Structure 1
């Protein structure tokens, strides 16, 4: 009697080949993830892969300093607790959060704070400008 190998169950979820472009880097990072994997986990994997490959510029490994975008879905950053497969796309963009320096207290110590304003100097306008520079009109 022949024994057949049992197929793996679908409980593991669907696996996706995703591509993450890092602003300022030579090319995208590609790796396979489960569609239920969280955005924060994907960002962590992307940063580790980026460092392992010795890419420039050096980014660091703190995922709190970065945001992941889906260029097709708009200019809103993806939430770190969302599933990566819930967006229906496979191409993403990883950007460093812009930092503003403010002086704090009488000692004039400087502290870095994320930019959250919605006017001309916001991170959204910076993101839109960086995308518009890369898109050539024919």
Structure 2
């Protein structure tokens, strides 16, 4: 006879909070039930920072803080494959999803967390900065190259059999002939 899970211990990290909320729930519970339980427990324990609102519909559950897509509220906990989650607040302008009033394709588009929208905004801003930083790195490297060429000196044999030193822009020909001043 196979052992059957009766309860799950789940860790829910809430955005900007220091520690995870530990919630014990039935495997048959849904993601929406977990969100409601985690928010209720967080408020009951009086954790800091205080949540600006305690309505579970204002929050989304993710596998981690780096996951852009939120979990489906109707999915069973036993089907998720993880026991650690991240709870973050939805944006104020984002309407809660009501599956009974919309088609499944439009609800999936709205159900994805605002995290994906934020990631798109950041990537649009970041691309010009990356190009600018690349330009600055190339500029710095070319300046270093010019400075290195200026500081190189070459020792040559003098006409009287002695040595003379040539200064200025000298290309590296042989390491034995170069002195760095």
Following the alignment from structure 1 to structure 2, what is the Cα–Cα distance between the partners of residues 56 and 87? 28
Q: Greater Rg, structure 1 or structure 2? A: 2
Structure (1 or 2) with the greater strand fraction = 1
Structure (1 or 2) with the greater helix fraction = 2
Give the C-alpha shift of residue 53 in structure 1.
Answer: 0.7
Residue of structure 2 in register with 1:88 after alignment: 81
User: What pairs up with 1:115-134 in 2 under 5 angstroms?
Assistant: 123-124=115-116, 126=118
Give the C-alpha shift of residue 14 in structure 1.
Answer: 3.5
Under a length normalisation based on structure 2, what TM-score does the superposition of the two structures give?
Answer: 0.49
Backbone CA RMSD of aligned residues:
2.8
Q: Which of 43, 54, 57 in structure 2 is aligned with 1:51? A: 43
Segments of 4+ moved more than 3 angstroms: 125-129
Tell me if 1:16 matches 2:8: yes
Following the alignment from structure 1 to structure 2, what is the Cα–Cα distance between the partners of residues 90 and 114? 27
Number of aligned residue pairs: give it: 102
Give the C-alpha shift of residue 76 in structure 1.
Answer: 1.2
User: What pairs up with 1:36-47 in 2 under 5 angstroms?
Assistant: 36-47=28-39
**Is the 1:98–1:123 contact (alpha carbons within 8 Å) kept by the matching residues of 2?**
no
Residue of structure 2 in register with 1:25 after alignment: 17
Following the alignment from structure 1 to structure 2, what is the Cα–Cα distance between the partners of residues 27 and 127? 25
* Structure 2: 5+ residue stretches without partners: 96-108, 123-181
**Higher RCO (CA-CA < 8 Å; seq separation 6+):** 1
Under a length normalisation based on structure 1, what TM-score does the superposition of the two structures give?
Answer: 0.63
